[in-house]
């Protein structure tokens, strides 16, 4: 039951941070139709989940539930990514759609990889 509480708290905080970062990024950096806010949130989330997974790999701390399952789960958003792709498709912005999907997958994978390698650099 305690783990569910940590997930709940982390998820709420992650969701609020996602909203703030995504909203302000989109207002500040408006590149045509490219959903930069969600892109940035998802790449940062990929890095964080890679880093935290690697960092907590040998330990079963409550922080795994708070930060990985809760915060990263609330912070990143595949549903918004998918809805934005659908909107780009509907509005026939096929080039932007293609670039967004490819960049998200490649940058997301690279961010997880870098995050997994980062704790070793701190030692």
Cα separation, 74 vs 1, whole angstroms: 19
Q: Which long-range contacts (CB under 8 A, 24 or more apart) does 88-93 make?
A: 88/33, 88/35, 91/33, 93/32, 93/33
| Contact between residue 119 and residue 54 where contact means Cβ atoms under 8 Å apart | yes
* Helix, coil or strand: residue 56: coil
What residues form the annotated binding site for Na(+)? 73, 76
What residues form the annotated binding site? 73, 76
Cα separation, 75 vs 70, whole angstroms: 8
Cα separation, 24 vs 115, whole angstroms: 24
């Amino acid at each position: 039951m305690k783990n569910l509480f940590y997930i709940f708290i982390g998820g709420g905080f992650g969701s609020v941070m996602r909203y703030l970062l995504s909203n302000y990024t989109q207002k500040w950096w408006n590149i045509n139709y490219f959903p930069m806010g969600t892109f940035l949130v998802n790449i940062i989330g990929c890095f964080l989940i890679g880093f935290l997974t690697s960092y907590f790999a040998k330990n079963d701390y409550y922080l795994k539930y708070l930060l990985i399952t809760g915060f990263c789960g609330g912070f990143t958003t595949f549903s918004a990514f998918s809805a934005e792709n659908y909107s780009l498709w509907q509005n026939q912005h096929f080039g932007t759609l293609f670039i967004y999907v490819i960049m998200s997958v490649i940058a997301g994978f690279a961010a997880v990889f870098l995050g997994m390698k980062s704790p070793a650099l701190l030692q």
